[in-house]
């Protein structure tokens, strides 16, 4: 692969993407990184053999710019990049809530922008990355974004109008599962199990259930029904979940996450 790709703002997700690209066959010589702290940049150079550069240097020399800074920092970064980004550069944004129009208005006319929402399982090559095209992005640009993010998991194309919903469901999604595991672990302790055993039981159950959902092709209602015997333990647990409004609470939580994603596009910080 001869194209140069720069990851700007290489935090945890940026580093996961970087390492995934190298595992997928990208040459470290073709990968550029930027970081706020010089010691962080040197750490990335030592670990991966990539080239640390300034944001300006990245804008001038890379064929593709992947912007992984926080949403509230994106405007400042674009102000720095705009004078140096030619209109033929592909710009990929990984910032929650910020539409492609935000970038198109600040960069040279015709600049192709692709919006991607990935999630933290990128750290273990199990990410779900949702990809949307801006006004000037072509099929080739989308395929290039898929090639990059495919190194850390699965990709899915959606219209940009669905990005906020995907952010709520998938971008933030791992946190909901971690929250559930935390609560179930506490329940296991309450029921008399040591924490480590409760944790192992729940994590393996979660992995097994996820694989069944992925590979069986069955609807989750059917899979749940296979576990739920008449007058058994599972149906009693499900009754309590329904009595406490867990389903309604999840729906409300995801609506709140979607709404916050929309607020981020307006620059609202709290």
Range list of β-strands (E), 189-262: none
Res. 214: pLDDT tops 80 = yes
pLDDT-derived band at 1 (thresholds 50, 70, 90) equals: very low
Tokens for 64, please give them.
Answer: 């593709």
Res. 254: pLDDT tops 60 = yes
Range list of β-strands (E), the chain: 5-8, 31-34, 51-52, 64-67, 90-93, 113-117, 127-133, 153-157
Q: How far are the Cα atoms of 19, 44, 46 from residue 78, in angstroms, in the given order?
A: 25, 23, 28
User: What mean pLDDT comes out for the span 127-133?
Assistant: 97
Q: Is residue 64 helix, strand or coil?
A: strand
Among the listed residues 95, 153, 99, the one whose alpha carbon sits nearest the alpha carbon of residue 127: 153
User: What mean pLDDT comes out for the span 30-55?
Assistant: 94
Q: From the CA atom positions of the chain, what is the Rg in Å?
A: 21
User: What mean pLDDT comes out for the span 111-139?
Assistant: 96
pLDDT-derived band at 125 (thresholds 50, 70, 90) equals: very high
Sheet holding 127-133, edge to edge: 51-52, 31-34, 5-8, 64-67, 90-93, 113-117, 127-133, 153-157
pLDDT at 215: 96
Residue 31 near residue 14 (C-beta atoms within 8 A)? no
Res. 108: pLDDT tops 70 = yes
User: What mean pLDDT comes out for the span 148-167?
Assistant: 95
DSSP bridge partners of 66:
7, 92
Question: Which string of b and e fits 198-209 if b means at least 16 CB within 10 Å?
Answer: bbeebeeeeeee
pLDDT at 227: 96
Among the listed residues 90, 122, 103, 89, the one whose alpha carbon sits nearest the alpha carbon of residue 11: 122
């Amino acid at each position: 692969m001869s194209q140069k790709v720069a990851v700007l703002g290489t935090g945890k997700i940026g580093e996961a993407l970087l390492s995934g690209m190298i595992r997928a066959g990208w040459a470290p010589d073709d990968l550029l990184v930027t970081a706020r702290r010089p010691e962080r940049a040197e750490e990335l150079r030592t670990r991966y053999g990539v080239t640390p550069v300034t944001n300006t240097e990245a804008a001038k020399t890379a064929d593709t710019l992947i912007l992984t800074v926080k949403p509230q920092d994106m405007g400042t970064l674009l102000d720095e990049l705009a004078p140096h980004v030619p209109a033929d550069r592909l710009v990929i944004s990984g910032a929650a809530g910020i539409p492609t129009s935000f970038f198109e208005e600040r960069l040279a006319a015709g600049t192709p922008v692709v919006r991607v929402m990935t999630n933290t399982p990128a750290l273990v090559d199990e990410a779900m990355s949702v990809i949307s095209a801006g006004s000037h992005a072509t099929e080739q640009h989308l395929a290039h974004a898929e090639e990059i993010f495919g190194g850390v998991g699965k990709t899915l194309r959606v219209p940009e109008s669905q990005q906020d919903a995907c952010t709520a469901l998938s971008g933030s999604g791992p946190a909901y599962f971690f929250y559930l595991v935390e609560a179930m672990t506490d329940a296991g302790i309450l029921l008399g199990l040591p924490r480590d055993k409760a944790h192992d039981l729940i994590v393996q159950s979660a992995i097994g259930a996820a694989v069944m959902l992925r590979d069986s092709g069955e609807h989750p209602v059917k899979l749940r029904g296979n576990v739920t015997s008449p007058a058994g333990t599972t149906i009693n647990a499900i009754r309590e979940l329904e009595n406490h409004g867990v389903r309604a609470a999840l729906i409300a939580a995801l609506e709140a996450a979607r709404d916050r994603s929309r607020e981020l596009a307006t620059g609202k910080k709290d």
